[in-house]
Amino acid sequence: MIIDRKAAFIGLMLCSILFAVSVPLLVGIGEIPEKAFGQDVVTLSQVSSADPLKADIAYGLKGVQGVQAASPEIYSFCAIGQEPVFVRGVVVEEYLKIENGTLSPGSLNETWRFAVAGTRLAKRMGVGIGDKIVLTGSVIPKVVEMDITGIYSSPNGGGNDLLVPLWVARGLSGIGDGMVHAIRVHASNLTAISAYLEGTEESLVISQGGGVSTPINTNTSASGTETQLALRYLDSATFKASNGSYVSLFVQEGTENVNVVVGGFIALEGTLTFVGSVAVMSRVLAHRRKEIGILSAIGATRWKILGMTLYEALPVAVGASIIGVTIGGALAVAIDQFGLLVMFGQSVVPVFTLQIIIMMIVSMVTISLGAASASAWAHASARPERTMHESGEEAVQQKAFDLRRSLEAED
């Protein structure tokens, strides 16, 4: 037997577990901005942050043909204790329609003073109906104490937010009475919405999925008084080119930039897995150096030894990858369930698709077999009279050179 199957299996399985835990979670991080602000809805937002939208527009939109729900929203990044929380000022009924969400049994049907936590947030914070929470202002000094009046769940991967009334959110985010940051609309007739909005003579921007923005009643020039904290970072040509829609821009820029980071981490993770798997297979074969030497001595060619190695390595690699990916996937789900990984106030939901699972298993198997081949070839290429008599460690130690001599100019 050329390969120490037990050692190879354990090593490769550990690499697979790390790979399978991190990749779905990293992909999940990439989807957070879209989940928080975007999804399959139309978003209305102001031309620049200095001119918030009137919440009345949302109430007027409900009478427009094809509009199923219009949710006026205010966004505030807060902290409860040490936990980052995304607080969303909403009209609960409209918000739940947009998100296809439902209130859990026991939730109070409050419309004036409520704090409705998403299921994921409630789990992460360990709070339930009736518990008290203290919210602090995100951009202005403000403290609000509230009771949790309900728990909501959403099938769209939501359930990370804390829903509060618009008046509370205004206090936390510092925007004026009757104003909101954005209105999200579930509608089948965009033309009717545009026609209605043109009639309001309000300057705003309609944003759809894919970064398509339509300005209404505006020449789209950005106002020079962009005072929102977030827009300090977006005071750029990109911002102006987006017709000044900061929600649309948040989704686009956020997704794009998070994807750059996520892509980078996946590449890093892949490299680490590659290095780890190569190290495991190399070490496993180094322990069989003498056996490989004996095979060479009795006439086995390099190709024969390579074939034998691959024959033995294949089932080990496939088995370790499948079991590792399964365990890793389970760990990723557990991390999600216990809310252990939170970014931007949102619990990260791992993404498992068939392509991702197949990609992880195929990568692991390919890397393992490649590493096994390289190591087997190196051992089989050495002179059998040496390999028969030395272990892998002895071979490496004998190769260790004298640093001083190698740096000396004299021969």
Which positions lie near other proteins, rule CB under 8 A? 225, 227, 232-233, 253-254, 257, 260-261, 264, 267-268, 271, 275, 278-280, 282-283, 285-286, 289, 371, 374-375, 377-379, 381-383, 386, 392-393, 395-397, 399-404, 406-409, 411
Which residue number, 259 or 326, has a Cβ lying nearer to other proteins? 259
H or E segment at 248?
helix 246-286
Say if residues 64 and 192 touch (Cβ distance below 8 Å).
yes
How would you classify the pairing of strands 116-118 and 150-153? parallel
In the complex, least distance from residue 144 CB atom to other proteins, rounded to whole angstroms? 24
Helices (H), 287-353: 289-297, 302-337
Burial class for 103, CB neighbours closer than 10 Å (0-12, 13-18, 19+) = middle
Which residue number, 103 or 378, has a Cβ lying nearer to other proteins? 378
Q: What is the DSSP string of 164-189?
A: E-HHHHHHHHTPPTTEESEEEEEES-
Say if residues 365 and 318 touch (Cβ distance below 8 Å).
yes
The one-letter amino acid code at 48 reads S
In the complex, least distance from residue 100 CB atom to other proteins, rounded to whole angstroms? 30
In the complex, least distance from residue 229 CB atom to other proteins, rounded to whole angstroms? 11
Which residue number, 40 or 411, has a Cβ lying nearer to other proteins? 411
In the complex, least distance from residue 122 CB atom to other proteins, rounded to whole angstroms? 21
Cα distances (Å, whole numbers) of residue 352 to 53, 232, 233, 386: 38, 36, 33, 49
CB atoms under 10 Å from CB of 135, counted, come to 23
In the complex, least distance from residue 245 CB atom to other proteins, rounded to whole angstroms? 16
Which residue number, 129 or 380, has a Cβ lying nearer to other proteins? 380
Which residue number, 208 or 373, has a Cβ lying nearer to other proteins? 373
In the complex, least distance from residue 261 CB atom to other proteins, rounded to whole angstroms? 7
In the complex, least distance from residue 188 CB atom to other proteins, rounded to whole angstroms? 33
Which residues does 385 contact at the CB level (< 8 Å), separation at least 6? 293, 297
Dihedral pair phi/psi, residue 288, rounded to 5°: -110, 20
Query: Does the CA dihedral 382-387-388-392 come out positive or negative?
Result: negative
How would you classify the pairing of strands 182-187 and 42-46? antiparallel
Which residue number, 149 or 255, has a Cβ lying nearer to other proteins? 255
Q: Which residue has the tokens 């921007």?
A: 205
In the complex, least distance from residue 373 CB atom to other proteins, rounded to whole angstroms? 9
Which residue number, 177 or 399, has a Cβ lying nearer to other proteins? 399
Which residue number, 177 or 408, has a Cβ lying nearer to other proteins? 408
